[in-house]
Structure 1
Amino acid sequence: MSSTSSTPTAALLDALADGSVRVVDLTQPLSEKTPVLQLPEPFANTPPLSRRQLSRYDDDGPAWRWDVLELGEHTGTHFDAPIHWISGKDGKDVASVEPGRLVGPAVVIDRAEACAQDPGYLLTVADFEAWEAEHGRIPEGAWILFHSGWDARAQDAEAFLNVGAEGPVTPGPDVEAARWLGSERGISGFGVETVGIDAGAAGGFDPIFPVHQYLLGNDRYGLTQLANLGELPPAGAVVVVSPLKLVDGTGSPSRVLALVPA
């Protein structure tokens, strides 16, 4: 007869308590200074975070402090739902995503050195195949996380957005890699350290913004502006994604955590 002390959840709690599994925060701090995506005219842009005071332990609320927040759904570390993009317009909103899809194995593709040499580095299918050659087939329900080292720029809007004469220069998948993410493995989603799930140059690709096109159009999800991916192993960690359960939400600021074997 089994006891509760031998259950998987009890073993996980024991591992967290003794430090053999640690929690790594993959979320960037969210403030009025958090960089946000900048689209060219005539497109509408999302606002940065702003707040309006309601009370500060005063006549408006003698024992409490609280504010009203204004921010876009796609601000800071955030989740992209299928309805964010035209290819997924008949798909799920944030509130409809099954909770089991928000927890899964973390597959970390580390190309930080290449991105340091080439800020516009394009992730290819060969990068995914190289990971599988070393670690085995990418598991069902995985979150593929692209470690580019870009999180080091997150508190400097100019360096983070990295807009040059030809537009933004940031790393991301090429068209074939985007198509692969949308169809070749049963993943839950794809996460990046940059401001969006596509490369900075993806507005000039065919199709434009192919990760949005293929990922969100195939009931898969996006994560952006992640942090601390360099603390994760290539395989063996578990990612936990916590967006707001926002009805009709196209996206949501999110707290993203990883459970990592020490």
Structure 2
Amino acid sequence: MSLPRVLAAACLLPLALAPVADAAESPGLWSVYETALKGAKYVDLTHTITPDIPVWSGFASATFSPATAGSDIEGYARKGDTYTYATHGFEATEYTLRTDQLGTQLDPPAHWAPEYPGIDELPPTYAVRPLVVISIVEQLKADDNYALQVSDIEAWERAHGTIREGSVVFVRSDWSKRWPDPALAKLTRFPGVSLDALKFLHEQRHILFHGHEPLDTDSTPTLEGEDWLMHHGYAQAEGVANLDQVPEVGALVAIGYPKFGGGLGGYARYVAICPPDWPHGVSIGPDDAPLPKSDKPLHYDSKAGMRVR
């Protein structure tokens, strides 16, 4: 059975027990790991969050700083002390995130429609889904404001077959190749997804959600696509990256995001799980644990506003 067929039929569980050598004798879903996931290629589709990534001008930028003691700890630290490896044996970081609409995201419908779920109310069934990638790179050569059309979806289906119910559909535009250029947040013309295409994907193909590389769904004055999605109970992914490194069909996507109570946006991580013979990505290997040691320790750089090597 192929990788997508095995995993699309299974609800993967985060099992943290020792692997079983013989997949045929593996209990439950451990055989899925042995026969499919263990040899797969993994491609990260997520931008790194830093203090200077593009963000809508209506929001303030994030700041990172060394964490300090919030109270006196007798014999250990005084309130306001900066934690250091030398003095305390560890360091930590204080993140001031002034919006949940930052970087690679998962927008729950409550972002626009409070009667629908927030980020903490999304079901755990979002964890792993079949991944569809539809490219509009060629169309953008003639029109930098091009939006995915129903005709593009139909052309993809003629080549690859009908999009499966419950899939995640990412629209490749290569817009993310300019990341983290701050000018990206100011563009009024950028790749989009048309309202008709969104309606087709959800009402005709019954996908889970779609995703795009820019930070907005479309460039219409009212953001009509995002408005329709949110007010009909659909989520969406924004700020997705590296779609040029995954196949148009046959991969899966693992979806993770923090569970903020009442959250209206999510700092998300998307990882494409590709067939073993795919030329991009990394495989499970001995460097996964323990993780490799670097000869350049992390340290806080005040100019960069974050820890760097």
Normalising by structure 2, what TM-score? 0.71
Contact 2:24 2:31 in 1 (8 A): no
Whether the aligned pair in 1 keeps the contact of 2:209 and 2:236 (CA below 8 Å) is yes
3-state secondary structure, aligned to 2:176: helix
| 1:195 has 2:220 as partner | no
2:157 equivalent to 1:136: no
- Secondary structure in structure 1 of the residue aligned to 2:134: strand
* CA apart distance, 1:74: 0.8
Matched, 1:26 2:55: no
**RMSD across aligned C-alpha pairs, in angstroms?**
2.1
- Cα distance in 2 between the residues matched to 1:238 and 1:50: 33
Does the alignment pair 1:49 with 2:68?
no
Q: How does 1:167-178 map to 2 (within 5 A)?
A: 168-178=188-198
Following superposition, the deviation at residue 56 of structure 1 comes to 4.1
The reply on whether 1:63 has 2:82 as its aligned counterpart is: no
Matches within 5 A, 1:149-168: 149-158=174-183, 160-161=184-185, 163=187, 168=188
Q: How many angstroms does 1:178 deviate by?
A: 3.0
Alpha-carbon distance in 2 for matches of 1:244, 1:11: 26
Q: 2:253 aligns with which of 220, 239, 243?
A: 239
Count, aligned residues: 239
Shift of 1:6: 8.0
Q: What's the offset of the Cα at 1:116? A: 3.6
Shift of 1:14: 4.6
* Corresponding letter in the other structure for 2:94: V
**Percent pairwise identity:** 26
Q: Which TM-score applies when normalising by structure 1? A: 0.83
Matched residues in 1 for 2:43 and 2:264: separation? Answer: 26
**Would the aligned equivalents of 1:57 and 1:65 in 2 still touch at CA under 8 Å?**
yes
Letter in 2 for 1:188: L
Decide which structure has greater strand share.
Answer: 1
The equivalences for 1:245-256 within 5 A come to 245-256=259-270
Bigger CA radius of gyration: 2
Give the partner amino acid of 2:204: E
Query: Comparing both structures, which one devotes a greater share of its residues to helix?
Result: 1
Give the aligned partner of residue 101 of structure 2: 74
Q: 1:227, CA displacement in angstroms? A: 1.0
SS at match of 2:198: helix
Q: Which runs of 5+ in 2 are unaligned?
A: 1-22, 68-81, 279-309
Conservation of the 8 A alpha-carbon contact between 1:35 and 1:76: yes
- Letter of the aligned partner of 1:100 in structure 2? T
2:258 paired with 1:229: no
Counterpart amino acid of residue 45 in structure 2? L
CA distance in 2, matches of 1:214, 1:101: 21
Aligned to 1:103: 128
Q: CA deviation at 1:92?
A: 0.6
Kept after mapping to 1: 8 A contact 2:109/2:116: yes
